[in-house]
Chains A and B, each alone.
Chain A
Amino acid sequence: MPAVSKGDGMRGLAVFISDIRNCKSKEAEIKRINKELANIRSKFKGDKALDGYSKKKYVCKLLFIFLLGHDIDFGHMEAVNLLSSNRYTEKQIGYLFISVLVNSNSELIRLINNAIKNDLASRNPTFMGLALHCIANVGSREMAEAFAGEIPKILVAGDTMDSVKQSAALCLLRLYRASPDLVPMGDWTSRVVHLLNDQHLGVVTAATSLITTLAQKNPEEFKTSVSLAVSRLSRIVTSASTDLQDYTYYFVPAPWLSVKLLRLLQCYPPPEDPAVRGRLTECLETILNKAQEPPKSKKVQHSNAKNAVLFEAISLIIHHDSEPNLLVRACNQLGQFLQHRETNLRYLALESMCTLASSEFSHEAVKTHIDTVINALKTERDVSVRQRAVDLLYAMCDRSNAQQIVAEMLSYLETADYSIREEIVLKVAILAEKYAVDYTWYVDTILNLIRIAGDYVSEEVWYRVIQIVINRDDVQGYAAKTVFEALQAPACHENLVKVGGYILGEFGNLIAGDPRSSPLIQFDLLHSKFHLCSVPTRALLLSTYIKFVNLFPEVKTTIQDVLRSDSQLKNADVELQQRAVEYLRLSSVASTDILATVLEEMPPFPERESSILAKLKKKKGPSTVTDLEEAKRERSVDVNGAPEPAPASASAASTPSPSADLLGLGAAPPAPTGPPPSAGGLLVDVFSDSASAVAPLAPGSEDNFARFVCKNNGVLFENQLLQIGLKSEFRQNLGRMFIFYGNKTSTQFLNFTPTLICADDLQANLNLQTKPVDPTVDGGAQVQQVVNIECVSDFTEAPVLNIQFRYGGTFQNVSVKLPITLNKFFQPTEMASQDFFQRWKQLSNPQQEVQSIFKAKHPMDTEITKAKLLLGRSSDLGQHSLKKLILTLQTLWALASSTPKPPRLDACCVWSRICKLRCTGSRCAQARTLFPRGYVTYCRSSFNPMQAVGLCVLFPCVSATLGDHTAHSTMEHLSTCTSSLGPGRGWDTKGLLTGTTAGLPVQGGPGSMKSRQPVVQSTN
């Protein structure tokens, strides 16, 4: 026991520690600890006053027991007593105990703060240091309140000792980080900046950290630090290796301070003053030159310290991104490191080069190292180094080397570590798409991806290949042929079956001429995989089959037989059963015309940012996806562009009705194809991420949020500590929400403060009123908060609920989006058709009409345009079309309910168009699975053929678009309409389906707009 022999410790403590170490079992240890706890407790409770030494010893034992992982629930007061001792060792143990076992007992906090106050005022540098370290370690809000005013004074006072200044600077930094609002800027700031000139390098080291943090938040106020930092840096890098004595580390002058200064400079753009700028450039050149000099020591410490400064200098050069000469020199230096024998250096060089690759000045220079990097991918032993190599290859990729890089990544993928496969898959998919000159190469690459790493190919990847194939007709035939061949493999990945099923369903006809891939062979091939697949894939295949019925009438009976088989029609899975029933009926009842229209080829997807890129960003964080330029460009091409006229909230003329929840959007589409466009319409943005949210939102809260779009009650958020439940009701433009905060623990929450935050533009449109809740929430208790809501005008963002509280010693901060969405305030209007049209015609005021002429971004195809006019960008249900769909449904509801018998044909025709989308859209499966119940109940109860068609046509969209109970009533309503049609009527009327019902109006409020298109324009 070396420590004890030094004779300066506490003997009793050493004995106790030895005893614990000698314990043979966990039980023995616990026994020994309990004995000790009992002993200490009795000493503390005893009549005899303990002397300082004993108190110190026992407190120290308690601390040791706590550090072993046992709970300590006494001794705090004794520790606080030690604070007022005049002996350093006793004070130190007291402060240490307080720092390690922070307790939020308010009485104690008062005593602690009092002791700290005394020590700060003591002018004894040792005691001041202890007090400052305690504040820096605890950093609580109470301490900030008490000392944030005092510490800057200590920091800049002329007579403060250097070591105290160091502590004061970092203590202030801690308080500023924890409670910036409590640290007011003031006169002291300019004097703090001048600490950069201090003679004591330790003071400069501490002050630089403080200044860097302050400068990040208040760049203007700390601007003068730039020239001071440059001159300080310059003095360091030009000094001889022995000049700085204490601060020279293995012949490198003040390496940590240099690094800190270089980081401070990264808070600012290149200096404007040419003299300062010149001096800085000299410094950076000196640092680069030193890297080429022979080492002054063979020790790794020397080279590490030297290179720490070098890498930070390179970071600054990259940050400024303005000196091509320096950038290229940096790149060359890193190039040397790529082959260095030190793994650390190779790793860091790869990492640093990644950022260099995104600079236009050094991109080419980085590319010259491609072979070395590829070699690293093959030979490095450390997976994290290989990972960096993959990142760098990705960053240096452009059109000139894409094929080589993608091929290398693919071959690496075969042996890559499981942990990074998914990321590589995403990267390959992105590069293949971005740099594809020839889309056949793209298709081959993605199919290879699926073959090599099918399990790691996420949905985004295979969705994307389908989007691209659909949008580019030059590659469709090739894609069909290639997937057909790939499917021949005896064992192919399920993702391949999905892609294959989809592509053959859309474009199988392009290869059907070849007798080797005749319709029947295609079908048999796909169906041979059917039974090995999961339910979602089978569902997709069923859609493919119905598309085959349309594409290849000759296989119709084969497919009908399959659909009719018990394993489909009576499948235990409702989704599969539903599809089988629907498709079977559709194939037998619908005419070829209807089939052709309903199952028409998918219209092109709107161009937008690759969903895969979005996924990669999400995975890695945007900063690490290096092609920022590219991302910027993609963002500016906002394809879903032109803003739509706002749907007027139907309020004035409306009367509440049982269907009031018609617009409760049931299936918020998961929108797998990337973040919604920012310039989108109102409803669309309800689903978008509020990137500008004040606090980071709790993970998972997005999902819950989406769930609340169509329901009003439930659990909004839940973690280990806290549960937030909601109950809300809305009526016209008013609403009331009850928020229930449940404390799931057995401990009190203190300072419990929920805050409602409305973004600036939301504030004007949404009025929220609430009262503060009790700041203490007992363990197991629930508190309720009522929020009164008034919708003043339409809005897109949702308010954020931020909750802060203390649990145990720790500060908790949770943010969730509060599900107050525009649709909560929607109300349908019921009116007879003549009233409707009368109203429509009245809308003739110039302000009520809107017409805009714009240049088409894509070639205009009559059929496609028609489809788009009907339902927005129809294939793209997740976005605009959803809004249009709602508008359409809203109108149709009014039309259908006001028309006695027979139902208006144009209403049916629009329903069928909606249905078509549902049948072919790749995302329809996802949306539909959300609400299958209502349908199944219904379809079992009655089976009138006409009704079946009506249902199969009508219901999928209704069920997917609306909430459960409304769907049911909608269906009931519509089925009465459809059942009144004679068999075959309505569906056989020629031209029915091509009759456009474009630009459907929104009924309602006086402010509503009128489109210039007529409501119904039948071609007949």
Chain B
Amino acid sequence: MPLLVLPQIRFILIQNRAGKTRLAKWYMQFDDDEKQKLIEEVHAVVTVRDAKHTNFVEFRNFKIIYRRYAGLYFCICVDVSDNNLAYLEAIHNFVEVLNEYFHNVCELDLVFNFYKVYTVVDEMFLAGEIRETSQTKVLKQLLMLQSLE
């Protein structure tokens, strides 16, 4: 019985077109230099692609699934054996939640509320796996937490 490679999100990155990181969430151990290198490499491979290209890029031993929203690239790095479209839509699901939570999200929301974005991520992705997919449930939870402030 061949075993599947452990499916796991290696990291999630949100970058703008200039390469500024708006969110970096790591699910694997990387040291700081390595993280910086990954951030730069991802930016380099993703920004050269256009709309005719796929939303998937092979990247080292992994692959990057990414989607561009205005000036922001949302990238998820997963194992090569993982389901591309499922993660592509997971990105969109995440973006719709952010949009709802921040009422028409823009890049600045992510900058000024970076600590809240982490909470949103943890609600939807945990330990490198998809935790919750229902937008209704996530938003309900987020609003509940918001009320505690």
Q: Which residues of A contact B (CB under 8 A)?
A: 1-4, 8-9, 14, 17, 21, 60, 63-64, 67, 69, 87-89, 92-93, 96, 99, 126, 133, 136-137, 139, 163, 166-167, 170-171, 173-174, 177, 201-202, 205-206, 209, 212-213, 216, 219, 245-247, 249, 254-257, 259-260, 263, 266-269, 301, 304-305, 307-308, 311-312, 343-344, 347-348, 381-382, 384-385, 621, 807-811
Contacts and interface: CB of A to CB of B under 8 A. Distances in A.
Q: For the complex, would chain A's binding face be called helix, strand, loop or mixed by DSSP majority?
A: helix
B89 A246 contact: no
A99 B122 CA distance: 11
Interface in B95-149: 102, 106, 108-109, 111-115, 118-119, 122, 126-137, 141, 144-146, 148-149
Nearest 5 pairs of A and B residues by beta carbon:
A308-B85, A3-B112, A174-B127, A246-B134, A88-B148
B127 A205 contact: no
Given A8-B149, A126-B148, A344-B54, A810 B29 contact: yes
Given A255-B89, A312-B83, 6 more contacts: A1-B108, A2-B109, A174-B127, A202-B132, A209-B127, A347-B56
User: In the complex, which range does the number of interface residues on chain B fall in?
Assistant: 35 or more
A317 to B, nearest CB: 14
Contact of A170 (B29, B85, B131): B131
Contacts of A256: 86, 89-90, 130, 133
A934 to B, nearest CB: 43
B69 interface: no
B52 interface: yes
B126 A167 contact: yes
B85 A14 contact: no
Contacts of B115: 60, 63, 92-93, 96
Contact of A246 (B30, B61, B111, B136): B136
15 contacts: A9-B112, A64-B114, A67-B114, A92-B119, A202-B133, A206-B132, A212-B7, A219-B1, A263-B7, A267-B4, A301-B89, A311-B84, A344-B85, A348-B84, A808-B31
Given A8-B146, A89-B148, A171 B89 contact: no
B88 interface: yes
Contact of A206 (B32, B90, B118, B131): B131
Nearest to B57: A384
A151 B146 CA distance: 26
Contacts of B90: 256
Contacts of B1: 219, 267-269
Contacts of B24: 67
Contacts of B61: 621
Contacts of A96: 115, 118
A510 B126 CA distance: 70
Contacts of A347: 54, 56
B132 A205 contact: yes
B58 to A, nearest CB: 7
B30 A810 contact: yes
Nearest to B113: A3
Interface string B28-40: 0111100010000
Contacts of A3: 102, 108-109, 112-113
Contacts of A384: 53-54, 56-58
Given A126-B148, A256-B90, A247 B133 contact: yes
Contacts of A212: 7
Contacts of B70: none
B112 A343 contact: no
Contact of A811 (B4, B29, B58): B29
A69 B129 contact: no
A136 B127 contact: yes
A382 B54 contact: yes
B134 A171 contact: no
Contacts of A133: 122, 126
A88 B133 contact: no
A9 B146 CA distance: 10
Q: Which of B114, B126, B131 has the most CB of A within 10 A?
A: B126
Q: Which of B3, B29, B30 has the most CB of A within 10 A?
A: B29
B18 interface: no
Contacts of B92: 301, 304
A707 B113 CA distance: 55
Nearest to A624: B80
Contacts of B93: 249
A717 B148 CA distance: 54
B55 to A, nearest CB: 6
A26 to B, nearest CB: 13
Contacts of A87: 148
A133 B131 CA distance: 11
A810 B21 CA distance: 22
B127 A202 contact: no
B89 A807 contact: no
A381 B52 contact: yes
A213 B126 contact: no
A751 B83 CA distance: 37
Given A133-B126, A202-B137, A9 B131 contact: no
Contacts of A88: 145, 148-149
B53 A249 contact: no
Nearest to A93: B115
B114 A205 contact: no
Interface in B1-55: 1, 3-4, 6-8, 21, 24, 29-32, 36, 49, 52-55
Contacts of B7: 212, 263
A948 B86 CA distance: 72
Nearest to A260: B130
A166 B54 contact: no
Nearest to B88: A304
B127 A89 contact: no
Contact of B112 (A4, A216, A260): A4
A296 B115 CA distance: 38
Given A8-B149, A267-B3, A304 B85 contact: yes
A307 B149 contact: no
A249 B136 CA distance: 11
Contacts of A89: 148-149
Nearest to A140: B29
B131 A810 contact: no
A983 to B, nearest CB: 63
A661 B106 CA distance: 72
